[in-house]
Structure 1
Amino acid sequence: MFTGLIRAIGEIERIAPVGGDMRVRVRTAKLPLADIALGDSIAVNGVCLTAVELDQGRFAADVSRETLAHTTLGDLGPGARVNLEPALTLSTPLGGHLVSGHVDGVGQVLEVREDARSWRLQIHAPAELARYIAPKGSICVDGTSLTVNRVVGCVFDLNIVPHTLQETIIGDYRAGTRVNLEVDLIARYLERLLLGDRAADAGGEAITLEFLRRHGFAG
């Protein structure tokens, strides 16, 4: 588990095919590795990876074909900047929100514009994720915990303050940038709970307004 508070901006040193998938080596910059052991988890742009090699100022992790297919890690090459966060501990302050490091889908930045010292971002999410994104709710973008300002269909808006621009890779975003999205895990589990026994059906009924009305959750 993670908090969505980025600890360092790392850099891809190498990403190479190994046995049908990939191994990535990341320079960790200011992220301390003293308390990280082989087998520990580190989120790279919001993707939970397992450290399989540790060296001075760098680590390596294997990236499966499943992860490559559902995240932006396959887009990265040497020199690419990435958000880094080690797994939380029981003493870690939860300043963001609970993040699993399991990416739900890839979105695309539609617009970046300045608003005083902040930036306003508009991001298009995959249609299947739209129902989990709510105004003033939490969303994780490339591993960064952010608050949704507005949602219209599959498009949501964010306000990025100067500190976040400086301490994450969001300052690199441009229209067209692909980003990893993880929705609020509570929303995902709530959907399954509302399905009740229907959750066991192979093609379980989707949560819609009509579904909520039939089961007394909406007027």
Structure 2
Amino acid sequence: GGKTAVVCGYGDVGKGCAQSLRGQGARVIVTEIDPICALQAAMDGYQVTTLEDVVEHADIFITATGCRDVIRVEHMQRMKDKAIVGNIGHFDHEIDMAGLAAVPGIKRINIKPQVDEWVFPDGHSIIVLSEGRLLNLGNATGHPSFVMSNSFTNQVIAQVELYSNTDRYERKVYRLPKQLDEKVARLHLDALGVKLTKLTPEQAAYLGVPVEGPYKPEHYRY
């Protein structure tokens, strides 16, 4: 708690990362290129600015963009001593690890598995997690089992649907039907102690949906 964290990117991954950091008591700052995502971040209560404006003051930097060269050598050289740098978005070029390793006179000290201290010639250092690769896989044990259960159930139900109703589908990519998506969620509610409210026939008719769902159009984004 009390640290200043910068989350680069406010897509689905960045949103979750920012929320998690805020839940741990961090002051979270977001960087974005997309005006819609930037507006979402601002409306969610985050300061939105450029990395250049905050690079010297933040304690933690997380990339979640899917792009390259988001955190470059010139950024890392300006970071405060022992700043933590990690990536949860893409490959190891979101953070310019090749450029970091090529800095003349820089030293790499392995603190523990997947945690390295990079010491610049001026004596200040930064902590890089998982060599700039996905830290949720390198520094942790991957995705939580409950999340994986949802993902795998989605995949299995999709395979069953394709096998059982082959004649409904051409050879192309389809979005999982909303009815099956809701089925996956419904199967996992008991584990969380969730009790759903049930529509009355009159309410369902008013909304124009079946009592048992699906409740949203196929294009709906939760």
TM over 0.5: no
TM-score, normalization: structure 2?
0.24
Tell which structure's C-alpha radius of gyration is larger: 2
Normalized per residue, which structure has more helix? 2
TM-score, normalization: structure 1?
0.24
